[in-house]
């Protein structure tokens, strides 16, 4: 997204409201104070004003929005002087997090996103005005917790992406320097497949080569799925009873799941979406929501799988409705509290906090799994070995690959011989 320069916003406001723009030659604190007064005089709402002050701070080198570093004291003083004493440290900091998360400080003052945000803040203020101080304070604490979790989640996402790039770069270096590693792995797999086929043939001598291939492929799929499950953090934690549950989904659970899926399908059907003025990013998000749910294996799902998948679909339905409810407004619905009553908004916040906590634990577990990955650790350790030691390992890999290949040849020949004998016995 291209940031709209602060000068463009000021020029527009100055022209529309016949106000003299602040002098940017003053010191930084004075500039922000004068800019806040100018925005107030032009009738700019307080949240839109803060977004512009943040933009000004970034452009003048006072802030780093990529690191979440803001001149809180100076911004607070400017906002309090222009918009009143309600801008205490806590309110200012939470609003900074919201505006940064929505990237409102990169947008034009007359953008629909800033207008939408102002409307949402006014709606929130009106809804909470009628509740008790105790309930309002609890609600504000929940909002603060929610925003902080967003910050933690975003930081983990950045760390994950950085780690992923580093791991891939290291893996590519290893494969470049040790191409014989793949040969060793392939020959070991070839030997294991031949052993599996011989074992199955000993159990049932009537099996054909096609049936043995099918059994081997099934076993490979199971091993691959287990490896993927081990390396992929699950989207939920298992309860004690779920750990031991192995049954396939009942028709009742299946129908419940299908009902949820139908609701999502109706929300995301292309014929329906064509009537919404969606942005490109919103269409992409809705497509991803649909793809996430389509990836679930209904045929082989257990009740536990469908129960958890149903939770995913419920979240996708809620997210889809939120996107459609702000069609044309490029703000992540995850940053917008949903609900038309205080109770609805409290419930939404509670669920959002739990979901963020789960997502954070998933990321932490994934990062830990990457740190504990023995294969990657061994690759990294070998790359840091002296060249002489690396040459020894290359030779050892070649020798092991040759040994596995030789053993696989022998086992495959034995398999062919046994199958031929079986065919001869059937002919007799």
Q: What is the mean pLDDT of each run of 10 residues along the chain (428 residues)?
A: 69 72 70 89 90 88 82 92 91 88 86 88 91 92 90 86 87 91 90 91 89 86 57 36 41 70 76 79 82 66 59 75 79 82 92 88 86 88 92 94 95 90 60
CA distance 102 to 121: 14
Are the C-beta atoms of residues 278 and 286 closer than 8 Å to each other? yes
Give the C-alpha separation, 157 to 137, whole Å. Answer: 30
Tokens representing 393 are: 């390992």
User: In this structure, are 206 and 254 located in the same domain?
Assistant: no
Integer Cα distance of 304 and 26 in angstroms: 64
pLDDT of 288 = 82
How many DSSP H helices and E strands does the chain contain? 17, 0
Query: Which range of residues forms the domain containing residue 405?
Result: 178-231+375-427
Distance between CA atoms of 132 and 135, rounded to whole angstroms? Answer: 5
Same-domain pairing of 36 and 126: yes
Residues 6+ apart with CB under 8 A from 253: 303, 306, 307
pLDDT of residue 422: 65
Structure tokens at 307: 């129960």
Does residue 110 share a domain with residue 182? no
Residue 305 lies in a domain: yes
Task: Tell me the whole-structure pTM to 2 decimals.
Answer: 0.66
In a domain, 65, yes or no: yes
Q: How many residues does the chain have?
A: 428
Distance of CA 377 to CAs 149, 171, 371, Å?
Answer: 31, 10, 8
Closest C-alpha to 56, from 78, 25, 32, 39? 32
**Is 393 within the bounds of a domain?**
yes
Q: Do 384 and 407 belong together in one domain?
A: yes
| CA pair distance 55, 75, nearest whole angstrom | 11
Q: Looking at the structure, do residues 96 and 13 belong to the same domain, yes or no?
A: yes
pLDDT at residue 240, as a whole number? 37
Is 237 inside a domain boundary?
A: no
In a domain, 321, yes or no: yes
pLDDT score at 253: 65
Residue 156 lies in a domain: no
Q: Quote the tokens at residue 226.
A: 């287990």
Verify that 196 and 251 share a domain, yes or no: no
Q: How crowded is the C-beta side of 185, counted as CA atoms within 13 Å?
A: 7
Within-domain flag for 78: yes
Tell whether 30 and 57 lie within a shared domain: yes
Q: Do 218 and 263 fall within a single domain?
A: no
Q: Are residues 202 and 255 in the same domain?
A: no
**Residue 232 is encoded by which pair of tokens?**
């992929």
Q: Are residues 199 and 252 in the same domain?
A: no
Minimal CA–CA distance to 358: which of 318, 317, 308, 310?
A: 308
Tokens 């954070």 sit at which residue?
360
Could you give the number of structural domains in the chain? 3
Are residues 221 and 272 both part of a single domain?
A: no
**CA 191 to CA 11: how far, in whole Å?**
74
56: Cβ contacts below 8 Å, ≥ 6 apart:
6, 31, 32, 35
β-bridge mates for residue 69, sequence order: 64
Say yes or no: 106 and 18 in one domain: yes
Contact predicate 253/307, CB 8 Å: yes
Name the domain boundary from 336, 361, 387. 336
Cβ atoms < 10 Å from Cβ of 273? 17
């Amino acid at each position: 997204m291209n940031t709209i320069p602060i000068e463009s916003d000021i020029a527009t406001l100055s022209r529309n409201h016949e106000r003299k723009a602040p002098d940017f030659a003053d010191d930084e604190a004075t500039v922000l104070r004068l800019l806040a007064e100018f925005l107030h005089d032009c009738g700019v709402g307080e949240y839109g004003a803060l977004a512009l002050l943040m933009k000004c701070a970034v452009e003048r080198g006072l802030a780093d929005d990529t690191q979440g570093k803001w001149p809180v004291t100076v911004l607070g003083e400017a906002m309090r002087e222009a918009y009143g004493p309600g801008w205490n440290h806590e309110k200012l900091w939470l609003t900074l997090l919201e505006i940064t998360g929505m990237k409102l400080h990169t947008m034009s003052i007359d953008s629909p996103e800033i207008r939408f945000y102002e409307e949402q803040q006014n709606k929130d203020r009106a809804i909470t005005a009628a509740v008790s101080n105790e309930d309002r304070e609890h609600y504000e604490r929940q909002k603060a917790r929610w925003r902080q979790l967003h910050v933690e989640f975003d930081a983990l996402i950045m760390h994950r992406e950085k780690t992923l790039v580093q791991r891939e770069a290291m893996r590519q270096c290893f494969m470049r320097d040790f191409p014989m590693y793949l040969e060793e792995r392939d020959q070991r797999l070839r030997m294991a497949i031949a052993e599996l086929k011989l074992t199955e043939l000993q159990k049932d001598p009537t099996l054909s080569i096609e049936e043995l291939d099918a059994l081997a492929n099934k076993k490979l799929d199971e091993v691959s799925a287990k490896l993927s499950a081990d390396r992929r953090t699950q989207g939920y934690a298992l309860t004690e009873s779920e750990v031991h549950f192995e049954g396939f989904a009942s028709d009742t659970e299946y129908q419940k799941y299908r009902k949820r899926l139908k609701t999502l399908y109706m929300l995301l059907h292309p014929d329906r979406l064509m009537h919404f003025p969606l942005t490109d990013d919103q269409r992409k998000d809705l497509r991803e929501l649909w793809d996430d749910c389509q990836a679930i294996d209904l045929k082989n799902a257990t009740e536990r799988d469908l129960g958890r998948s149903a939770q995913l679909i419920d979240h996708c339905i809620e997210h889809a409705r939120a996107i459609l409810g702000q069609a044309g407004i490029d703000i992540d619905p995850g940053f917008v509290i949903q609900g038309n009553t205080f109770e609805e908004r409290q419930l939404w916040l509670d669920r959002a906090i739990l979901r963020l906590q789960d997502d954070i634990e998933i990321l932490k577990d994934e990062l830990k799994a990457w740190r504990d990955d023995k294969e990657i650790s061994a690759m990294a350790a070998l790359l840091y070995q002296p060249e002489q030691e690396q040459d020894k390992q290359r030779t050892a890999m070649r020798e092991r690959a040759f040994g596995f290949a030789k053993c696989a040849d022998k086992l495959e020949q034995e398999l062919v011989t046994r199958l031929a004998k079986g065919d001869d016995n059937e002919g007799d």
